[in-house]
Amino acid sequence: MSLPNCPKCHSEYVYEDGLLLVCPECAYEWNPKDTAEAEDGLVVLDSNGTRLADGDSVTIVKNLKVKGAPKDLKQGTRVKNIRLVEGDHNIDCKIDGFGAMKLKSEFVKKL
């Protein structure tokens, strides 16, 4: 699973409780949508220059080779509930038939 670490104590053992995320180590509870908006640091733009946010849905804008996968990721594939991360491949996501993977934001378009 790709739950974020606790924003207070950075524990990895965060779990979901309904819409909230809960940290068992420091008992902090938060709504992941709130922190996505509060954390303004990470700016990730799609192929059109539209800013992406955690939880957005996007489509792939070109066929992409996937390392270790038997097939290409097809243009037009929908990707739901993305998570923004730092780095070269700045989108963390899960894609049906491929599983968890990282994408470059320049190859997606916000829905």
User: Which positions touch Zn ion (CB under 5 A)?
Assistant: 6, 8-9, 11, 23, 25-26, 28
Given the complex with Zn ion, which of 9 and 111 has the nearer CB atom?
9
Q: Residue 37 in 3-state DSSP?
A: helix
Given the complex with Zn ion, which of 2 and 5 has the nearer CB atom?
5
Nearest distance from C-beta of residue 13 to Zn ion, angstroms: 8
Burial of 61 (0-12, 13-18, 19+ CB in 10 A): middle
98 φ/ψ sector (left φ>0, alpha ψ -120 to 50, else beta): alpha
Nearest distance from C-beta of residue 36 to Zn ion, angstroms: 17
Residue 59 token pair: 């489509």
Given the complex with Zn ion, which of 21 and 58 has the nearer CB atom?
21
Q: 99 has which bridge partners?
A: 95
Nearest distance from C-beta of residue 8 to Zn ion, angstroms: 5
Nearest distance from C-beta of residue 5 to Zn ion, angstroms: 8
Q: How far is Cα of residue 50 from the mean position of the Cα atoms in its chain?
A: 16
Given the complex with Zn ion, which of 11 and 47 has the nearer CB atom?
11
